[in-house]
Structure 1
């Protein structure tokens, strides 16, 4: 194992299980650790999420996504408006305001959250 990889956490997923989640190849998937509480109780700080980097712009639909906002990555729920190319960006934690009626072209989507894991206890 290369020196720069020592101490880094690794996840191993069964290929068949991954294929049941997404059609994207494993190289288009990424694990990200959640920071903050804006998506609580759905996702909490310290949760690990599996992000499908190939499931975004062309296939955008209601769901939880990783977005780039300025220089930061944020995890938010997107709710597409039934008519037009508009979307509401939501936090599951009601303490955080929604971003209503956003132009879908202004959303910098990184990928769709397809799995979450967390420590119990």
Structure 2
């Protein structure tokens, strides 16, 4: 009885790619690496996260007279997005280090770019002028 088609190796692929991907996959790193990266990242970003959340709330709520502008709401929403990116970046980076796959790294880099943008905005607009 002939073998099923899915068990026959491809003649077009090199021998290394025709092997099963489970045999060539890298072993994932320890869970402790991901936890360490997450905790250290949250400790480093704790103050900017709280400060950006407060600044965004002030933008969205508006001044005391009750006039809220569209630009204030837009800045507040962008601040909230930056705050969420700062919260999500350390665990996503820890997972990417543990998993050793491309997709978690792409997601971690995307949130890292948003975190860096939010941190630079917070530093340039709020921390440097106050100092």
So what's the TM-score if we normalise by structure 1?
Answer: 0.22
Higher strand share: 1
Higher helix share: 2
So what's the TM-score if we normalise by structure 2?
Answer: 0.21
